[in-house]
Amino acid sequence: MRRILATMMMLLMTTAALAGCAGSDVTDEDVDAAREEGRLAGIAEATPVSTLDTIHERGTMKCGVKDSQWGMGFADADGVRSGLDIEYCKAVAAAIGLDAEQDIEYILASAGDRFEKLSSGEIDVLIRTTTWTTSRDAELNADFAGMNFFDGQGILIRGDAFPQADTTSALNLASAKVCVGTGTTTEGNLADYNTVNSIGMDIVPVADAAEATTKLVDGSCDAFTGDMSAMVAKKYTLELTNADGTTGCDGCDLWIAPELLSKEPLGAAVRDMDSDWKDVVTWVWYGMVTAEEMGLHSGNYAAADMTNPSVDRLLNNNLGLGTDTNPLPATWMQNVLSAVGNYGEAWDDSFCDGTWDAGVGGSDTMSNCVLSRVGTANALVSEGGLQFAPPMR
């Protein structure tokens, strides 16, 4: 910035000196023109290149994700990825004209390095169960692009150590060894909850969810705390039956405490001062929510009634999204619906059996859900939840 200001000052000083020279032909208009030239040059140099333009030049999008949380960001033994965060990555890629199956580079973003990878440009967008907090928004080189999942912190407990019938509540976990990730908001929330309620938990810091899982299974920890979505997913995966008839935590009798220890609004994040790219990431999510609100889904959007101005605007207008060099195609939302469907379809593919008929009913018609939207903040406003989109116009 100092270099830019110095350049502008030199231009101004030079033109002023010329204007002041006896017999000079430099006019006031020349001075004004030079001043404007310097101003525009400073603005151009100070304006960062949009990540969207960088992605198009590269031809791929780098999405920072998890690979171990079933339902949000998960990679199976064959490397096939699934989860709501993965659906969101695909939706963004499709919206900007990339192939959602071929043109995304998934990069593991851990709790300890995710913001560093974002700030350094190693990833283009962070979509990885990341809680939107004041300090992260204000102090880090990160800008949150809305909230795509309303979560809260829960505690997964070994029933053989603290039986559900006797314990019933997280408030009764005195002396319980509780694993928690170091350097996370989860760690601070647990410490506050433990102190405020004088519970007397024995807090066990761990590097990551993998270490916490190991300690929970081998009994080094009696409980494991994290986002409720993660606790539901962990309970589900640990209770899967192995070929020998055992489970991942055989005899653990796992249960989840009813309390939510915190508010955990999860959102995608981009770098600061990257407004065009942030707008794209934000409004892709809102577009998926809006499509569900309108009853538009992967199976009917192609035959939608375009005489309805709201429908036509959503499906055939870029709404100003993108950059001058790379505006979103007018059919960006059609691309999203083709690739992943609306918000409800993405949820069903992530947490349920993927057979939901989006044209028939709401969340209560999704089947075999490990995590249901019904009665939660993640349901649409029309179903009593908090998910709704600003006007798409």
**CATH number reported for the structural domain that contains residue 182 in this entry:** 3.40.190.10
Amino acid symbol at 218: D
User: Angle between the 84-95 and 332-339 helix axes, to the nearest 10 degrees?
Assistant: 150
What percentage of the chain exceeds 70 in pLDDT?
Answer: 91
What is the token pair recorded at 206? Answer: 């761990």
- Residue 390 domain-assigned? no
**pLDDT tens digits, residue range 208-247?**
888 999 999 999 999 999 999 999 999 999 998 887 888 8
Are 218 and 300 found together in one domain? no
Are 251 and 293 found together in one domain? no
Are 144 and 271 found together in one domain? yes
**Domain final residue pick, 204, 230, 257:** 257
- Find the distance separating the first CA and the last CA of the chain, reported in whole Å: 36
Q: Give the position of tokens 């999942």.
A: 149
Calculate the CA 24 to chain-centre distance.
Answer: 60
DSSP 296-365: --TTTGGG--TTSHHHHHHHS--TT-B-SSSBPPTTHHHHHHHHT-SHHHHHHHHHS-S---TTT--GGG
Are 112 and 88 found together in one domain? yes
For the chain, what is the domain count?
3
Are 119 and 223 found together in one domain? no
- Residue 104 domain-assigned? yes
pLDDT at 3 over 50: no
Q: What is the mean pLDDT of the chain?
A: 90
- Residue 228 domain-assigned? yes
**pLDDT tens digits, residue range 31-40?**
677 677 766 5
Are 137 and 175 found together in one domain? no
Q: Give the position of tokens 């990339």.
A: 98
- Residue 41 domain-assigned? yes
Burial state string for 165-200 with b = 16 or more CB within 10 A and e = fewer than 16: eebeebeebeebbbbbbeebbbbebbeebbeeeebe
Question: 3-class DSSP state for residue 219?
Answer: coil
How far is residue 393 from each of residues 314, 389, 390, measured CA to CA in Å?
8, 11, 9
What is the token pair recorded at 123? Answer: 């990833």
**pLDDT tens digits, residue range 271-310?**
999 999 999 999 999 999 999 999 999 999 999 999 999 9
The per-residue pLDDT for 275 is 95
| Beta-strand relationship, 153-157 and 177-181 | unpaired
45, 38 Cβ separation under 8 angstroms: no
The per-residue pLDDT for 263 is 87
- Residue 262 domain-assigned? no
Are 318 and 284 found together in one domain? yes
Task: Write 17-26 long-range contacts (CB < 8 A, 24+).
Answer: none
**Domain final residue pick, 221, 236, 257:** 257
**pLDDT tens digits, residue range 129-160?**
998 989 999 999 899 998 899 999 999 999 99
Residues paired with 380 in a beta bridge: 387
Are 377 and 286 found together in one domain? yes
Listed residue (234, 228, 291) closest to 257, CA to CA: 228
Are 39 and 172 found together in one domain? no
- Residue 176 domain-assigned? yes
Are 167 and 253 found together in one domain? yes
- The edge-to-edge listing of strands for the beta sheet with 68-69 is 68-69, 73-75, 81-82
**pLDDT tens digits, residue range 150-186?**
999 999 999 999 999 999 999 999 999 999 999 888 9
Are 220 and 240 found together in one domain? yes
* pTM for the predicted model, two decimal places: 0.81
Dihedral pair phi/psi, residue 143, rounded to 5°: -135, 120
- Residue 205 domain-assigned? yes
Instruction: Give the mean model confidence (pLDDT) for residues 97-118.
Output: 95
Listed residue (84, 94, 86, 65) closest to 346, CA to CA: 84
- Residue 393 domain-assigned? no
Enclosing domain of residue 25: 2-46
The per-residue pLDDT for 340 is 98
Are 200 and 216 found together in one domain? yes
